[in-house]
């Protein structure tokens, strides 16, 4: 990407963050679609995903949605994805899958190298899908982990020239739950069974009372994020709940 374009994009993102610092998520979404109309929403259809999907569908009814089926997801997640898409009238959901025939033919890579498994089944698929878009919308929030504590509403991926939009960056857990109740949104069935953060079935366990909500992800391993992306020219890990 030309340096002059990269600099202009960074300035645009800084201006948007300043302009919308105290604005609601719906304002962030409207502004995002005005600034970069060719945006995709990336969703895991996990525990809290329905909130962003509902908001975005009200701002842009035909918003493109990317859902990566890792082929290791819980059956409940696959059923929930179809239910939410039907309930919200999402007409442009892309269900994408990796080609694992050569790299992980027996579906055991997650046992030997969970980072490589996430890269194969999620990150590579996502990066390929996003090549057709100017940017993407995520459901990341500041409260989800320490590395997201300063998460802004808008970011720029210097390596790709894409804008990353985080409309719910400032939301609290209470905001999320209140929105779901007030809008009568369908809940992921695994949440009631002790899964506040939901990823692939082999790498997700129930969470006990008092535990961190993400403690059930890759339990017992030195890992708490699923993919690697570039943000502002720096390689960072980004969470599975997108």
Strands of the sheet containing 65-68, edge to edge, are 93-96, 65-68, 39-42, 135-137, 162-165, 154-157
CB contact at 8 A, 5 and 29: no
Q: Which CATH superfamily is domain 3-187+221-238 in?
A: HUPs (3.40.50.620)
Average pLDDT, the chain: 85
Q: What is the per-residue pLDDT across 92-131, written as a single tens digit (0 to 9) for each? A: 999 999 999 999 999 999 999 888 999 999 999 999 999 9
Share of the chain above pLDDT 90, in %: 56
Q: Where are the domains of the chain?
A: 3-187+221-238
Which range (16-20, 47-51, 102-106, 216-220) has the least confidence?
216-220
Predicted confidence at residue 223, as pLDDT, reads: 59
200 is catalytic: no
pLDDT-derived band of residue 225, with 50, 70 and 90 as boundaries?
low
Higher pLDDT, 93 or 23: 93
Higher pLDDT, 184 or 6: 184
Residue 156 has pLDDT above 50, yes or no: yes
What residue has token string 């339990």? 219
pLDDT-derived band of residue 21, with 50, 70 and 90 as boundaries?
confident
Write down the catalytic residue from 117, 118, 200, 226. Answer: 226
3-state SS string for 97-148:
CCCCCCCCCCCCHHHHCHHHHHHHHHHHHHHHHHCCCCEEECCCCHHHCHHH
Predicted confidence at residue 226, as pLDDT, reads: 53
Angle subtended at Cα 236 by Cα 231 and Cα 239, rounded to the nearest 5 degrees? 100
């Amino acid at each position: 990407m030309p340096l002059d374009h990269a600099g202009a994009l960074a300035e645009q993102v800084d201006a948007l963050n300043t302009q919308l610092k105290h604005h609601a998520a719906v304002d962030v979404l409207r502004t995002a679609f005005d600034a970069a109309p060719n945006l995709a929403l990336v969703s895991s259809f996990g525990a809290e995903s329905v909130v962003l999907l509902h908001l975005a569908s009200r701002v842009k009814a035909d918003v493109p949605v990317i859902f990566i089926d890792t082929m290791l997801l819980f059956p409940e997640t696959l059923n929930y994805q179809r239910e939410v898409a039907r309930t919200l009238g999402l007409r442009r959901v892309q269900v994408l899958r990796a080609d694992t025939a050569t790299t992980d033919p027996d579906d055991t890579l997650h046992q030997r190298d969970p980072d490589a498994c996430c890269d194969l089944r999620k990150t590579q698929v996502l990066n390929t899908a996003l090549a057709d878009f100017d940017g993407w919308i995520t459901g990341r929030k500041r409260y989800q982990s320490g590395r997201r504590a300063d998460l802004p509403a808008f970011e720029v991926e210097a390596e790709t020239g894409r804008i990353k939009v985080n409309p719910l960056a400032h939301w609290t857990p209470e905001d999320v739950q209140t929105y779901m109740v007030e809008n009568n949104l369908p809940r992921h069935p695994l949440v009631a069974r002790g899964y506040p953060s939901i990823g692939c079935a082999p790498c997700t366990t129930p969470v006990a009372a008092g535990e961190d909500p993400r403690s059930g992800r890759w339990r017992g391993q030195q890992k708490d994020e699923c993919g690697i992306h570039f943000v502002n020219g720096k390689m960072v890990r980004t969470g599975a709940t997108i």
